Amino acid sequence: MSPAVWHDFATPEVVERLERIADIDTGSVVTSFDDVADLGRVEVLVTGWGAPVIDEHALRRMPHLRAILHTGGSVKHYVTQACWDRGIEVSSGVDDNAIPVAEYTLAAILFAQKRVLSTSRAYRQTRSAQPWAEPYPFMGNYRRVVGIIGASRIGRRVIELLRPFDVEVVLSDPYVSQAEADHLGVRLVELDELFTISDTVSLHAPDLPETKGMVSRRRLASMRDGAVFINTARGALVDGQALTEELVSGRLHGVIDVTEPEVLPADSPLYDLPNVLLTPHIAGSVGEELSRLIDHALDEFERVAAGEPLASPVQPELLSNSA
């Protein structure tokens, strides 16, 4: 992993625990296998953001490698087919990283329909009593329709978190059956219908060739006036120009954590719009939340050391439809 990522992980407690589990040099962080003279004894890799690709060339230098424990979510950028061909066990923190994203999304859904951002800004400007609900006749969350795009781990956790609230949840996902939707307690709809009937649309689909631009100009235009669009997935899934135009018009409200490009140009109107909450890709694990990821990896490490099966094995056959 990158030195910056390890710096965030490497508390004294984490270092002590690692040294109890394995023979490891916790002061050495590898970003290129070519920088390490001898990999012949390596049995386990603990990886994170910024890790080198584990390809056939690297594997030839690690004949005893038997497990890769990834502290992040997706392993698609690091683990190659050669790893699967060798039968190497792979674990991921994808479930743990889904937790803060789902929490962010829940907060965004509730605050956005309550019009917290817009009224807060207006209150700062007027500094007086106003009929705050007058501009927003449907202010609030009671009996709102929340559309979830993608029954990913994050999407499913958002659905679970929404259970105590008086909202109707609709879901669009081509891989979810009616029986599974019934089990989740949601109404399964086609994507076009989701955009037209939802008061809030929250995007949780993976970034795949077939999902790029799926939130199109036409679909955004079909959303109800005053509806909220939330993106914690990836900016590439959205027609950014069309979304900007809708938000500039004031017709829609937005909570946008990810954009394309990752940092918008300094002159982007999204920075200053009163109906937009723009955050710098912080919905995933940051700060103290990183402890959850490294704790999970170390739990898996202890299982490997004890000869026990991994608790969160990555299933390679599912990677083609996941982030």
Annotated domain spans of the chain: 3-92+287-316, 98-278
* Per-residue pLDDT at 323: 65
Q: What pLDDT is stored for residue 317 in this prediction?
A: 84
Phi–psi pair at 263, nearest 5 degrees = -110, 120
Q: Over range 200-205, report the average pLDDT.
A: 98
Report, as an integer, the average pLDDT of 90-115: 96
pLDDT at 318 over 90: no
Distance, in Å, from the CA atom of 140 to the CA atom of 200, rounded to the nearest integer, reads 12
Q: Are 191 and 215 in contact (CB under 8 A)?
A: no
Q: Does pLDDT of 321 surpass 80?
A: no
Q: Are 305 and 89 in contact (CB under 8 A)?
A: no
The per-residue pLDDT for 165 is: 98
Give, in words, the CATH class of 3-92+287-316: alpha beta
User: What is the rounded average pLDDT of the residues 297-318?
Assistant: 94
- Tell me if 3-92+287-316 shares its fold with 98-278: yes
Mean pLDDT of 20-47: 92
Lowest mean pLDDT among 115-124, 192-201, 241-250: 115-124
* pLDDT over 90, % of the chain: 90
Q: In what order do the strands lie in the sheet with 67-70?
A: 44-47, 67-70, 89-92
CATH topology for 98-278 is Rossmann fold (3.40.50)
The catalytic residue positions are 234, 262, 281
Q: What is the pTM of this model?
A: 0.93
